[in-house]
Structure formats: structure tokens, C-alpha cells
């Protein structure tokens, strides 16, 4: 297998949403995630994060910590983590204990990316609550501070929860990242002294947010996560991307479905009178041949001042997803084709 292409400035990593293709199962998607992680390690990707989503037929990972353990067992060198854990659903001490155990088992390979978003609809969010007498409070900054106090062993001695900082995986602890797609998340990351991962694939207008974070943080580190689909030709990449573009277009309308095959997606765009390359409103995607995709990835990294780009790829066909990540990671001289 060809070695990974390495820009002098930009690391490549993977953000996996564990997509469920039409006609397959969530179990298939989870096994596919483990296989992709093994490939990513062989190709030299730096880290592999899994996302948290609930109540959707399109994305399988409802428990990042479970999938992280499976992937870390199946790999040996790549960093593995959450992209992310949606902290409002959970007790901070439970998250701290869980990721402490992962760090205890797998050493310095574990990342804990935390976010504020629900990762689902309001009804499912409410169903996830333990106490359903009323909606949970919007107290993310307090939750984050408590989580960091456990992990950093900085809880005041007179705090009633102080003894809970004796986490089971010590001396190992995960690296904590704050995830976001809004100005407020960048402010919180800077205030907490945390590295910051921005979801450009959700909100492709984050360069100013990242710049403010870098200016206000004492030790800034930025990952930008982008949608990218790569194939041997631009036409094939666009065809493959139609599946996720249809799924996310319908998601905007409140309609949930597994990832459809390209022929169904292309017919969907035709019936709606939309161009075959239409993107969901407010989204950006990098689609094309290896040289095109790598150039655009590095341009986005420069735009954000990011030292690392995390690639999100959703296709109907799992083999096409594997191939996309392989093409992105392959040196230009090895991947050049007549269509490139």
C-alpha cells in the first residue's frame, strides 16, 4: 500500500459518523467503522474519532465510548476518540470515569472530544434524560468545568465530589478537545485552555471563529473537520456524493432515512429540478479527484489556521468510502490517473 501523502503543515485524520446504507444494518455500519479505522491506521492518518448520534436510521454510533474501545482493540498506534461526546446528556463524573478507563486500557491514544449539541431531535434528547420531570438545564460551561476538574485532579479539597477525582484509569487520562460550530464554542475553548475542533462540514463559515480562538487562547490548537469524497474522476466522486447530499437535504426537512444508493439520489435531484451537484443549504463539501481534494483540504486548513484536517466521508458503498480515504492519503505521484 502506498505511503500517506504528508503536507508539510497539515495532518490528516478521520471523523467517522458510522453511516447506515439502505438495505444494511446498524451492526454492519459499526463493523465497517472498525474496518475503516484499521485502514486509516495503515495509511498513516493521525487520529480516528467517532461521532455520537441518536434516534436516526442513517448513523449507527449512539455510544462513542463503546465503539472507541472496539477500534482501539483492533488498532495499535492511531489515536482514537470521540467526535464527540454530547456532554449535556450525561453526568460529568460518568464521562470522566468512562474515558479514564479507556485511557487506562489504551494509554496515551485516547481523545475525549466533547460538544454541546444534542446530536438528535428534542424528543430523543428528552428521552435520554434520567429525570424527565422537566427539561435539563442549559449549563454546559459548568458541566465542562466539572469534567475538567475530575480529569485534571483539580477539584477543591473541600468540594463534596473531591474524592471522585480518583479516577480508575489513572495515571492515564484522555486528551480533551472542545468541539463546536459556533462563536460561543471557540470562546469556551479559549477560556478553558482547550484545543478546538471546528465542524466546517456543519457550518462552513468558521474561519473568523477559529481566528478569535487562536488570538484568545494561550496554547491554541485547531482541527477543522470537512466533508470530502474522493474518486478517480470528478464525475465518479460527484456521483458517489449524491447519496449523502440527498440524505442531508432531507434531514433539513425533518425526514430521516438510511444512506440511499447513488441512482436513487440522482433521481431525487432530477425530480426536484435540482442540479446533480446540488449541496444541502449551508453546507460545503470537497468532492473530486485526489489532486483536487488534497488542494482544497489544504486551502481549508490555511483558511482556519488549522494544523490538522479531519475528513468526514459518507457514501452508500462501503468499498467506495475505503477507497476515498485511500486516495486522499496517497502521494500525488502514486494516485495520478487519466482523470486526475
Examine the pLDDT at 333 and tell me if it is beyond 70. no
295 CB-contact burial (10 Å; exposed 0-12 / middle 13-18 / buried 19+): middle
CB 186 within 8 A of CB 213: yes
* Residue 87, CB-side half-sphere exposure with 13 Å CA sphere: 25
- Per CATH, the homologous superfamily of domain 11-235+289-335 is Luciferase-like domain (3.20.20.30)
**Using CA atoms, how far apart are residues 47 and 51, in angstroms rounded to an integer?**
13
pLDDT at 172: 97
Q: Return all residues near 157 (Cβ < 8 A) that are at least 6 apart.
A: none
331-335: average pLDDT: 58
| CA pair distance 57, 297, nearest whole angstrom | 29
Residue 213 · residue 193 · CB < 8 Å:
no
Q: Give how far Cα 309 sits from Cα of 53, 67, 194, Å.
A: 21, 22, 17
Q: Cα–Cα distance between 334 and 327 in angstroms, integer?
A: 9
Q: What is the pLDDT of residues 215-232, one digit of tens each?
A: 999 999 999 999 999 999
Express each pLDDT in 116-144 by its tens digit: 987 677 888 788 887 778 877 888 999 99
Q: Where are the domains of the chain?
A: 11-235+289-335
**pTM, whole model, 2 decimals?**
0.92
Neighbouring C-beta atoms of residue 88, cutoff 10 Å: 20
Span 175-221, pLDDT tens digits: 999 999 999 999 999 999 999 999 999 999 899 999 999 999 999 99
Distance CA 43, CA 327 (A): 10
Q: Are 18 and 313 in contact (CB under 8 A)?
A: no
pLDDT digits (tens, 9 = 90+) for 223-275: 999 999 999 999 999 999 999 999 999 998 999 999 999 999 999 999 999 99
Confidence check: pLDDT of 328 > 80: yes
Q: Where are the alpha helices (DSSP H) in the chain?
A: 26-43, 64-74, 92-106, 122-128, 140-151, 183-192, 207-216, 234-252, 262-271, 290-304, 318-329, 332-335
Average pLDDT over the chain reads: 92
Do the Cβ atoms of 68 and 102 come closer than 8 Å?
yes
Amino acid at each position: 500500500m502506498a505511503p500517506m501523502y504528508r503536507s508539510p503543515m497539515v495532518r490528516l485524520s478521520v471523523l467517522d459518523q458510522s453511516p447506515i446504507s439502505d438495505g444494511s444494518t446498524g451492526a454492519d455500519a459499526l463493523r465497517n467503522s472498525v474496518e475503516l479505522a484499521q485502514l486509516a491506521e495503515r495509511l498513516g492518518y493521525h487520529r480516528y474519532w467517532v461521532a455520537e448520534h441518536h434516534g436516526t436510521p442513517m448513523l449507527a454510533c449512539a455510544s462513542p465510548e463503546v465503539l472507541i474501545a472496539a477500534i482501539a482493540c483492533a488498532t495499535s498506534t492511531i489515536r482514537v476518540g470521540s467526535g464527540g461526546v454530547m456532554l449535556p446528556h450525561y453526568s460529568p463524573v460518568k464521562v470522566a470515569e468512562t474515558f479514564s478507563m479507556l485511557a487506562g486500557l489504551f494509554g496515551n491514544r485516547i481523545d475525549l472530544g466533547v460538544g454541546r449539541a444534542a446530536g438528535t431531535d428534542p424528543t430523543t434528547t428528552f428521552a435520554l434524560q434520567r429525570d424527565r420531570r422537566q427539561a435539563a438545564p442549559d449549563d454546559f460551561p459548568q458541566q465542562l468545568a466539572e469534567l475538567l476538574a475530575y480529569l485534571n485532579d483539580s477539584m477543591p479539597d473541600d468540594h463534596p465530589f473531591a474524592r471522585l477525582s480518583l479516577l480508575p484509569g489513572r495515571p492515564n487520562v484522555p486528551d480533551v478537545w472542545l468541539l463546536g460550530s459556533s462563536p460561543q464554542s471557540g470562546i469556551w475553548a479559549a477560556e478553558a485552555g482547550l484545543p478546538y475542533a471546528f465542524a466546517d462540514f456543519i457550518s462552513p463559515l468558521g474561519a473568523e471563529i477559529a481566528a478569535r480562538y487562536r488570538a484568545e487562547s494561550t496554547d491554541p490548537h485547531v482541527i477543522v473537520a470537512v466533508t470530502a469524497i474522493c474518486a478517480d474522476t470528478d464525475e465518479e466522486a460527484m456521483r458517489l456524493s449524491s447519496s449523502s447530499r440527498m440524505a442531508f437535504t432531507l434531514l433539513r426537512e425533518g425526514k430521516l432515512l438510511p444512506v440511499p444508493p447513488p441512482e436513487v439520489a440522482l433521481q431525487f435531484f432530477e425530480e426536484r429540478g435540482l442540479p446533480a451537484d446540488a449541496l444541502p443549504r449551508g453546507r460545503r463539501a470537497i468532492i473530486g479527484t485526489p489532486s483536487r481534494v488534497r488542494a482544497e483540504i489544504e486551502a481549508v486548513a490555511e483558511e482556519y489556521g488549522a494544523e490538522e484536517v479531519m475528513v468526514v466521508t459518507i457514501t452508500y458503498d462501503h468499498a467506495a468510502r475505503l477507497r476515498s480515504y485511500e486516495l486522499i492519503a496517497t502521494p500525488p505521484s502514486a494516485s495520478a490517473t487519466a482523470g486526475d
